[in-house]
Amino acid sequence: MKRILSIAVLIAGAALLAGCPKKHNVNDAPVAGTQVPDSSGNAAEGASTSTSPLDGDANSSSRGLNGEGTGPLARKIIYFDFDKSEIKPEFADIVTATAHTLSGNPRLKLKLEGNTDERGTREYNIGLGERRAQAVRRALMLQGVAESQVSTVSFGAERPAAEGDDEAAWAKNRRVEVVFLP
């Protein structure tokens, strides 16, 4: 990991040295207010100061592949009705199978990613997404899964699985993704 970080820092540093073409000349303006520097520095900072910033990106890049996999550790998706966080009967099997996998492998951990459709306000949707993830977490714990094995995150409406302004897209977005952690 250390080596990865140093590579990251080197590349970011090189980019900083090389400099970015500054097309915006507002920085020279006497009457313009606050300068907004170009943000390559920010990106580099984010990458170099955090402990494991890039693994997350790696996961997200392979998201589609994981979702289509099969087997007990493949990504599974539980869908919800509008404005609801109750697990529908047709998804009970996923919960049970997931609980079995976790119970049989006490060192295995998973993350429940709660999502909503785009309707409503963004931050309130974060709350709804969290509520959905928690509903799945509770169901797993009721089936004997240890609390320490399950974490949750809510993306609200920010990470849709499908684009579009219709019920077909919305139905695909109201979901909890069950992601086993490496």
Partner 1 sequence: MHKLFSCLAVLVLTWACPFTHASEFVVEVTKGQTEAIPIAVVPFASAELTAASFDVAQLVSDDLARSGRFKTMDRKDMIEQPHTGANIGFDDWRRLNNDYMVVGSMQADGPDRYSITYELYNVLTKQRLLGFQISSNRAGLRSAGHQIADAVFEKILGIRGAFSTRIAYISVLGHLPDKTYQLIVADADGENPHVVMQSREPLMSPSWSPDGSSLAYVSFEQRLPTMYVQTLKTGDRRVVSAQAGVNQAPSWSPDGKKLALVLSTRDGNLDIYVKDLTTQQLSRITDDPGIDTEPQWSKDGQSIYFTSDRAGGPQIYKVGIRPGDKPRRLTFQGSYNARPRISPDESQLAFVTQENGDYRIATMDLRGRGDVQVLTKGHFDVSPSYAPNGAVLIYASRDKGRGVLALVSADGRVQQRLVSSEGELQEPAWAPF
Q: Smallest distance from the beta carbon of 110 to partner 1, in angstroms?
A: 13
Q: Tell which positions 74-113 bind partner 1, by CB under 8 A.
A: none
With binding defined as CB under 8 A, does residue 143 bind partner 1?
A: no
Q: Smallest distance from the beta carbon of 97 to partner 1, in angstroms?
A: 23
Q: Tell which positions 43-72 bind partner 1, by CB under 8 A.
A: 43-47, 50, 52-61, 63-64
Buried/exposed 83-113: b ≥16 CB within 10 Å, e otherwise: eebebeeebeebbeebbebbeeeeeebbebb
Query: At 114, which helix (H) or strand (E)?
Result: strand 110-115
Q: Smallest distance from the beta carbon of 117 to partner 1, in angstroms?
A: 11
Residue from 94, 108, 153, 171 touching partner 1 (CB under 8 A): that is: 153
Do 95 and 143 contact (CB within 8 A), yes or no?
yes
